[in-house]
Chains A and B, each alone.
Chain A
Amino acid sequence: MADRPKRNADGKNQPHLTLHVPEPSYRPDADDVDFSAIEIPEAGAQSRPDEACDPEETHGLCTDLIRVLGDDNRAHGPWDPKLDPDTLREMLHHFALVRAFDERMFRGQRQGKTSFYMKCTGEEATSISTAMALQPDDMVFPSYRQQGVLIVRGYPLIEMINQIYSNSGDKLKGRQLPIMYSSREHSFFSISGNLATQTPQAVGWAMASAIKNDTRIAATWVGEGSTAEGDFHAACTFASVYQAPVILNVINNQWAISSFSGFAGGEQATFASRAIGYGLAGLRVDGNDPLACYAAEKWAADRARTNAGPTLIEFFTYRAEGHSTSDDPSGYRSAQEREAWPLGDPVVRLKNHLIELGEWDEERQAEMDLKAAEKVKKDTKEAEKNGILGHGMHQPFHTMFEDVFEEEPWHLREQNEQSQAERDKKYPDGVPH
Chain B
Amino acid sequence: MSETKDKPKPKQGRDATGDDRRLNMIEAINDALDVAMGRDENVVVFGEDVGYFGGVFRCTAGLQEKYGKSRAFDTPISECGIIAAAIGMGAYGLRPVPEIQFADYIYPGYDQIISEAARIRYRSAGEYNVPMTVRTPFGGGIFGGQTHSQSPESLFTHASGIKTVIPATPYDAKGLLISCIEDNDPVIFFEPKRIYNGPFDGFFDRPVQNWKSHPDSVVPEGHYSIPLGKARLVTEGDQLTVLTYGTMVHVAKAVLEEKGIEADILDLRTLVPLDIEAVEKSVKKTGKCMIVHEATRTSGFGAELSALVQERCFYHLEAPIARVTGFDTPYPHSLEWAFFPGPVRIGAALDKILKD
Interface residues of chain A, those whose CB is within 8 Å of chain B, are 139, 141, 171-173, 175-176, 180, 182-184, 189-190, 192-194, 197, 199-212, 218, 230-231, 233-235, 237-238, 241, 402-406, 409-411
Asked if A205 and B91 make an inter-chain contact with CB atoms under 8 angstroms apart, the answer reads yes
Asked if B161 and A182 make an inter-chain contact with CB atoms under 8 angstroms apart, the answer reads no
- Residues of chain A contacted by B124 (CB below 8 angstroms): 172, 182, 184, 190
Asked if B122 and A231 make an inter-chain contact with CB atoms under 8 angstroms apart, the answer reads no
Asked if A406 and B121 make an inter-chain contact with CB atoms under 8 angstroms apart, the answer reads yes
Asked if B115 and A403 make an inter-chain contact with CB atoms under 8 angstroms apart, the answer reads no
- Residues of chain A contacted by B296 (CB below 8 angstroms): none
Candidates B78, B94, B116; contact of A208 at CB < 8 Å? B94
Given contacts A201-B91, A204-B85, A208-B92, contact A405 B163 (CB under 8 A): yes
**Which 10 pairs, one residue from A and one from B, show the smallest C-beta to C-beta distance?**
A204-B88, A204-B85, A234-B81, A200-B84, A409-B273, A208-B92, A205-B88, A190-B124, A201-B88, A208-B89
Q: Mark B101-122, 1 if CB is under 8 A from A, else 0.
A: 0000000100110011001111
Contact sample, A vs B, 30 pairs, CB 8 Å cutoff: A172-B124, A175-B125, A180-B123, A184-B124, A184-B127, A189-B91, A194-B111, A197-B111, A201-B85, A203-B81, A203-B84, A203-B85, A204-B84, A204-B88, A204-B92, A205-B89, A208-B89, A208-B94, A211-B44, A211-B94, A231-B80, A231-B111, A231-B112, A234-B78, A235-B81, A238-B76, A238-B78, A403-B125, A405-B163, A409-B272
| A14 to B246 alpha-carbon distance, docked (Å) | 58
Q: In this complex, what residue of A is CB-closest to B86?
A: A204
Q: Mark B191-203, 1 if CB is under 8 A from A, else 0.
A: 0000000000000
| A205 to B96 alpha-carbon distance, docked (Å) | 11
- Residues of chain B contacted by A189 (CB below 8 angstroms): 91, 128
Asked if B92 and A205 make an inter-chain contact with CB atoms under 8 angstroms apart, the answer reads yes
Given contacts A231-B80, A409-B229, contact A200 B85 (CB under 8 A): yes
Asked if B111 and A202 make an inter-chain contact with CB atoms under 8 angstroms apart, the answer reads no
- Residues of chain B contacted by A230 (CB below 8 angstroms): 80, 108
| A132 to B286 alpha-carbon distance, docked (Å) | 68
B184 an interface residue at 8 Å Cβ cutoff? yes
Asked if B125 and A192 make an inter-chain contact with CB atoms under 8 angstroms apart, the answer reads no
Asked if A231 and B84 make an inter-chain contact with CB atoms under 8 angstroms apart, the answer reads yes
- Residues of chain A contacted by B78 (CB below 8 angstroms): 233-234, 237-238
Asked if A194 and B126 make an inter-chain contact with CB atoms under 8 angstroms apart, the answer reads no
- Residues of chain B contacted by A209 (CB below 8 angstroms): 92
| A209 to B122 alpha-carbon distance, docked (Å) | 24
- Residues of chain A contacted by B87 (CB below 8 angstroms): 201, 204
- Residues of chain A contacted by B112 (CB below 8 angstroms): 197, 200, 231
Q: In this complex, what residue of A is CB-closest to B128?
A: A190
- Residues of chain B contacted by A210 (CB below 8 angstroms): 70
- Residues of chain B contacted by A182 (CB below 8 angstroms): 123-125, 127-128
- Residues of chain B contacted by A218 (CB below 8 angstroms): 88
B188 an interface residue at 8 Å Cβ cutoff? no
B330 an interface residue at 8 Å Cβ cutoff? no
Q: How far does the Cβ of A394 sit from chain B's closest Cβ, in whole Å?
A: 14
Asked if A237 and B76 make an inter-chain contact with CB atoms under 8 angstroms apart, the answer reads yes
Q: How far does the Cβ of A327 sit from chain B's closest Cβ, in whole Å?
A: 22
- Residues of chain A contacted by B161 (CB below 8 angstroms): 404-405
B247 an interface residue at 8 Å Cβ cutoff? no
Asked if A211 and B70 make an inter-chain contact with CB atoms under 8 angstroms apart, the answer reads yes
B side interface size, CB within 8 A: 46
Given contacts A200-B81, A238-B76, contact A190 B127 (CB under 8 A): yes
| A172 to B76 alpha-carbon distance, docked (Å) | 35
| A214 to B120 alpha-carbon distance, docked (Å) | 24
Asked if A411 and B274 make an inter-chain contact with CB atoms under 8 angstroms apart, the answer reads yes
Asked if B128 and A175 make an inter-chain contact with CB atoms under 8 angstroms apart, the answer reads no
- Residues of chain B contacted by A171 (CB below 8 angstroms): 125, 127
- Residues of chain A contacted by B75 (CB below 8 angstroms): 238, 241
- Residues of chain B contacted by A410 (CB below 8 angstroms): 273, 276
Asked if B85 and A207 make an inter-chain contact with CB atoms under 8 angstroms apart, the answer reads yes
Q: Mark B53-76, 1 if CB is under 8 A from A, else 0.
A: 000000000000000001100011
B241 an interface residue at 8 Å Cβ cutoff? no
Within 8 A of A (CB), among B140-162: 160-161
Q: How far does the Cβ of B119 sit from chain A's closest Cβ, in whole Å?
A: 8
Q: How far does the Cβ of A100 sit from chain B's closest Cβ, in whole Å?
A: 27
Q: How far does the Cβ of A204 sit from chain B's closest Cβ, in whole Å?
A: 3
B129 an interface residue at 8 Å Cβ cutoff? yes
| A405 to B270 alpha-carbon distance, docked (Å) | 15
Asked if B123 and A192 make an inter-chain contact with CB atoms under 8 angstroms apart, the answer reads yes
Given contacts A204-B85, A204-B87, contact A190 B92 (CB under 8 A): no
Find the residue from B111, B123, B183 having the highest chain A CB count within 10 A: B123
B99 an interface residue at 8 Å Cβ cutoff? no
- Residues of chain A contacted by B96 (CB below 8 angstroms): 204
Q: How far does the Cβ of A150 sit from chain B's closest Cβ, in whole Å?
A: 14
Given contacts A204-B84, A204-B88, A241-B76, contact A176 B123 (CB under 8 A): yes
- Residues of chain B contacted by A406 (CB below 8 angstroms): 121, 129, 183-185
Asked if A201 and B116 make an inter-chain contact with CB atoms under 8 angstroms apart, the answer reads yes
| A212 to B92 alpha-carbon distance, docked (Å) | 10
Q: With A200-B80, A200-B84, A409-B229 given, name 11 new contacts (CB 8 A).
A: A182-B123, A182-B125, A183-B127, A190-B128, A200-B88, A204-B85, A207-B88, A208-B88, A237-B76, A405-B121, A411-B274
Q: How far does the Cβ of B152 sit from chain A's closest Cβ, in whole Å?
A: 19
Find the residue from A189, A192, A241, A405 having the highest chain B CB count within 10 A: A405
Find the residue from B121, B124, B273 having the highest chain A CB count within 10 A: B124
- Residues of chain B contacted by A403 (CB below 8 angstroms): 121-122, 125-126
Asked if A190 and B81 make an inter-chain contact with CB atoms under 8 angstroms apart, the answer reads no
- Residues of chain A contacted by B81 (CB below 8 angstroms): 200, 203, 234-235, 237-238
B93 an interface residue at 8 Å Cβ cutoff? yes
Q: In this complex, what residue of A is CB-closest to B270?
A: A409
- Residues of chain A contacted by B93 (CB below 8 angstroms): 208
| A141 to B124 alpha-carbon distance, docked (Å) | 13
Asked if A206 and B184 make an inter-chain contact with CB atoms under 8 angstroms apart, the answer reads no
- Residues of chain B contacted by A190 (CB below 8 angstroms): 120, 123-124, 127-128
- Residues of chain B contacted by A173 (CB below 8 angstroms): 125
Within 8 A of A (CB), among B226-240: 229
Q: In this complex, what residue of A is CB-closest to B85?
A: A204
Q: How far does the Cβ of A46 sit from chain B's closest Cβ, in whole Å?
A: 32
- Residues of chain B contacted by A238 (CB below 8 angstroms): 75-76, 78, 81, 84-85
Asked if B76 and A192 make an inter-chain contact with CB atoms under 8 angstroms apart, the answer reads no
Q: In this complex, what residue of A is CB-closest to B162?
A: A405
| A405 to B276 alpha-carbon distance, docked (Å) | 17
Candidates B71, B88, B108, B126; contact of A202 at CB < 8 Å? B88
| A175 to B119 alpha-carbon distance, docked (Å) | 11
Q: In this complex, what residue of B is CB-closest to A220?
A: B88
| A202 to B112 alpha-carbon distance, docked (Å) | 13
- Residues of chain A contacted by B122 (CB below 8 angstroms): 175, 403-404
Q: In this complex, what residue of A is CB-closest to B229?
A: A409
Given contacts A405-B163, A405-B185, contact A175 B88 (CB under 8 A): no
- Residues of chain B contacted by A141 (CB below 8 angstroms): 88
